A and B are shown apart, each in its own frame.
Chain A
Amino acid sequence: MTADKDEKTTSLDDMFGDFAELILENVTIELDELRLAIRPMVQQAARSVGQSALAVPKSLITSKFEAPIGEYSSIIHEVTIGATKGEGGTRSSTLTIGGHTTPAWDLFQSVPKNPPVVSADVFDMKISLAKAVKMHYKEVLEDPAEWAKLCVNKYGADAITLHLISTDRLLKDTSPNDAAKVVEDVLQAVKVPILIGSAGDPVKDGPVLAKAAEVCEGENVLLCSATVDVYEEIAEAAKKYDHVVLSWTSLDINQQKELNRRLVDWLRPEQIVIDPTTAALGYGLEYAFTMMQRMRLGGLLGDNELQYPISSGTTNAWAAREAWMKAPELGPRELRGPIWESVTALALLLAGNDLFMMLHPAAIKTVHDLVNWLKEHRKVPEEDYHDWTSISIPEGV
């Protein structure tokens, strides 16, 4: 109307023509006088506006909560480690991880197809361990086969990671052949799936894992690891003897994507598990946490270089001095150490990790418990919500 300030008001017909409705936006109307006769309904509107601040609802305003379902275009690959007799191996069980369609633990949208699993660390030579750990393994430190048995039978490990650290040129420089013999011993000793860890020696890792891959043919082991510097020999061996490869990078998502890109030149996607490196609680954990979240999300949102299950070297939690140092004022080491490893694991579990490589029995049990507690969408009975405001807790505790 302001546009026509200077014109006489035209008739309704002129204004409307064939139209039934005029909509004017951002209008400023200047008037000398305007009379509005308002019908009762408007009166009510005016009154309720004025009074709404004072009226107290007499009863609960029933509302509904809408589950915040997300949209994800892709699925994370499923990877199986281990092979039973019928599949060409000698394991009595296999492990399958991955298969996610939603971010970790969004139970309201979907329940994880394959719950996370734990593999216990075994070393092929005696190493120095924190006291809190050593007390559980001191009898088996020089016998990898017995060590593996202890982990499976007593501590419930789902798999064994045999670290062939003696092959490091700076340690014992064990030959690939000799290292492979230990692998065979462990294969005999336990029937869970096996993961084989190299020493981190850039010259030895390739040959060591290649030889291990050969003696494990048929067992579908996880070869740990391929890195951006050393991957060809390992990928070739995995292709030849049909194993899975751990694609391991240093907290760099682009490096991770690049290595994954390269590995698929040899391997099927179902032969790859990724490890962005785990830093201990307090010493970089948030980097690992965020990388895992980003990788999982990226994969679900369509980045096919990140659609793999994730693994964590959770044992790295022990690098934190607070986990092992002798300091009575910080509480008993027997509790401090394993809780450190457990909390490291819990954070990464929530970020989406699928495979935990762990050391302390209490931490291993904790992760198993956590997985069992988290993995189902349960209706919690009312009585399980305790009134903590009025319970009495013993003094001094």
Chain B
Amino acid sequence: MSFEDIPVDIGVVYEGERVRGKDMFVELGGPKMEKKFELAIARDMKDIEDEKVTVIGPDLKDMEEGSYHPLAMIIEVAGKDIETDLEGVIERRVHEYVNFVEGVMHLNQRYDIWIRLSKKSFQKGFDSLEYLGKVLIRLFKSEMNIIESIQVTFITDPEVVAEKYEDAINRYNARDERARGLSDAEVDTFYGCSLCQSFAPTHVCTITPQRYANCGAISWFDGRAAARVDPKGPLYAIPKGDTIDEFTGEYTGVNQAYTEKSLGKVNSVALYSAFDKPHTSCGCFEAIAFVIPEVDGLGIVHRDFKGDTVNGLPFSSMADSTAGGRQIPGFHGIAIEYMRSPKFLQVDGGWDRVVWLPESIKKRVEQFIPDGIGDKIPTEEEAMTIADLKAFLKQKAHPVVERWVEIEDDDELPEVMSSAAGDYVSVPGELTAMVGGVGGGLEIIFKNAKIYAEKVIIRRKDKGGKKK
């Protein structure tokens, strides 16, 4: 793959470069434009012309230095392994690829895109969107071999952009709905990811339609696309196998993958519990669901949260217990997207078990918190000590309060006392007493005694054979 015909340099080296206002030739999309978008669409082979680049409206050479223009970028792809479900995965790469171009900066995605071209690059000859189209086509084809045919259209004509805008928005919404609507039961294959296994040799990340990858970066669709593009790469298929328990999220295929890839350490995983056979984490989870035993609930904290949480521990302290590929009940690495899933911690009680989370996270997942429970879960604004937390939960009658009654009723285990000395004498193994005295031996008299035994076996020496 060569870029010799492109007037500027192309490479990873330019990924983070910024183009400042004073250095820019033009700005496309961005905050000054109301409508702009980038969109990937899966088409049939016959409906597109491979490697065709179209520019509708003024091209770069027609624009005035320092001007602002709307932009729509439409990437249409086809191939026997291409489907609508892969559009999001493909579209997400536009940001990366556009940034590889020297002197071109691309920010955000979807209907928020913001692109700037530097004066320097324009002067070097990058004066047409055709060049950008060529670069995109070559990168897409070389990195994603499932794309057999691709065509790119740039629209800078404000009227045409406006025309196509609503369609784009509808497509994004449909995609999101589909992504959230797909259930584990509807698919045969989950995806495993080994990207972060290096320091956690027993960790296997299982990505399902309803369980996002811990790092927050990979959805089931991403897994599917990646495994298709590169079956030998870090994302691989995990055949679901038989459903052992759909509620807890136990599948024979997942258990097998774990057994094979975890140096034999983990054999059984329930995908939707933080306590019972929990899914493991390596070190790059977005957030932690951590147990707060004083209220028998789970708190949530994310990596960017600064300072201590309600239990006095910051993210970094709890991260140690969460990481390392071990099944540690009560310290569960999760993605924020997982909190939007209908199966979120469902074995443990789902949102009814969540007792604290940061304000910023609450806002992000607000729509997905079931009715009625949201107000009962405090954030750092309402509770920052266990005492305050308890009071808040009680006052709001949070469902977790019902669990507390059991804890209070548990008395301390009674101790064995001998009526005389007061010292606890433990008897190793068994103590067999023949009741009823038959000549010789001794008689022990207990008065006002409380005897605790782990097991009392009353054996009848004559009758029957059954045991109760």
A and B touch in the complex (CB under 8 A): yes
The interface of chain A, by Cβ under 8 A from chain B, is 1, 12, 15-43, 45-46, 49, 252-254, 257-258, 261-262, 265, 294, 297-298, 301-303
**In the complex, are the beta carbons of A254 and B197 less than 8 A apart?**
yes
- The distance from the CB of B314 to the nearest CB of chain A, in whole angstroms, is 29
- The distance from the CB of A126 to the nearest CB of chain B, in whole angstroms, is 35
Which applies to chain A's interface (DSSP): helix, strand, loop or mixed?
A: mixed
Asked if A33 meets B445 with Cβ closer than 8 Å, knowing A19-B466, A23-B457, the reply is: yes
Q: How far is the CA of A294 from the CA of B263 in the complex (A)?
A: 8
**In the complex, are the beta carbons of A297 and B263 less than 8 A apart?**
yes
**In the complex, are the beta carbons of B436 and A29 less than 8 A apart?**
no
**Stretch of B63-71, B330-338, B426-434 lying at the A interface:** B426-434
**In the complex, are the beta carbons of A38 and B443 less than 8 A apart?**
yes
Partner of B437 from the list A37, A49, A301 (CB cut-off 8 Å) is A37
**Stretch of B25-33, B73-81, B448-456 lying at the A interface:** B448-456
Q: How far is the CA of A294 from the CA of B201 in the complex (A)?
A: 8
**In the complex, are the beta carbons of A19 and B442 less than 8 A apart?**
no
Asked if A33 meets B232 with Cβ closer than 8 Å, knowing A20-B467, A21-B457, A254-B194, the reply is: no
Q: Does B312 contact A (CB under 8 A)?
A: no
**In the complex, are the beta carbons of A35 and B444 less than 8 A apart?**
yes
**In the complex, are the beta carbons of A40 and B440 less than 8 A apart?**
yes
**In the complex, are the beta carbons of A43 and B446 less than 8 A apart?**
no
- Residues in chain A near residue B198, CB distance under 8 A: 252-254
- Residues in chain B near residue A262, CB distance under 8 A: 232
Q: Does B313 contact A (CB under 8 A)?
A: no
Which applies to chain B's interface (DSSP): helix, strand, loop or mixed?
A: loop
Measured CB to CB, the nearest residue on chain A to B438 is: A39
Q: How far is the CA of A132 from the CA of B457 in the complex (A)?
A: 77
Query: How many B residues touch A, CB cutoff 8 Å?
Result: 52
Asked if A298 meets B443 with Cβ closer than 8 Å, knowing A19-B466, A23-B455, A41-B432, the reply is: no
- Residues in chain B near residue A41, CB distance under 8 A: 432
**In the complex, are the beta carbons of A21 and B441 less than 8 A apart?**
no
Q: How far is the CA of A365 from the CA of B283 in the complex (A)?
A: 43
- Residues in chain A near residue B438, CB distance under 8 A: 39
- Residues in chain B near residue A35, CB distance under 8 A: 443-446
Interface centre among B201, B234, B450, B457 (most CB of A within 10 A): B201
Asked if A19 meets B467 with Cβ closer than 8 Å, knowing A37-B436, A43-B442, the reply is: yes
Partner of B441 from the list A22, A38, A294 (CB cut-off 8 Å) is A38
Q: How far is the CA of A253 from the CA of B445 in the complex (A)?
A: 68
- The distance from the CB of B411 to the nearest CB of chain A, in whole angstroms, is 10
Asked if A33 meets B446 with Cβ closer than 8 Å, knowing A42-B433, A254-B194, A254-B195, the reply is: yes
Total A-B residue pairs with C-beta atoms closer than 8 Å?
152
Q: Does B458 contact A (CB under 8 A)?
A: yes
**In the complex, are the beta carbons of B468 and A19 less than 8 A apart?**
yes
Measured CB to CB, the nearest residue on chain A to B231 is: A261
Partner of A12 from the list B232, B425, B443, B460 (CB cut-off 8 Å) is B460
A–B pairs, 23, beta carbons within 8 Å:
A1-B456, A19-B460, A22-B457, A27-B455, A27-B456, A28-B452, A29-B456, A30-B449, A31-B447, A33-B447, A37-B441, A38-B434, A39-B433, A40-B440, A42-B431, A43-B441, A45-B431, A253-B201, A254-B234, A258-B234, A298-B263, A301-B264, A302-B259
Asked if A39 meets B466 with Cβ closer than 8 Å, knowing A31-B446, A253-B197, the reply is: no
Asked if A36 meets B444 with Cβ closer than 8 Å, knowing A23-B468, A294-B201, the reply is: yes
With A28-B450, A294-B201 given, name 8 new contacts (CB 8 A). A18-B464, A22-B459, A23-B468, A26-B454, A31-B448, A252-B198, A261-B232, A303-B261
Q: Does B422 contact A (CB under 8 A)?
A: no
Q: How far is the CA of A166 from the CA of B453 in the complex (A)?
A: 81
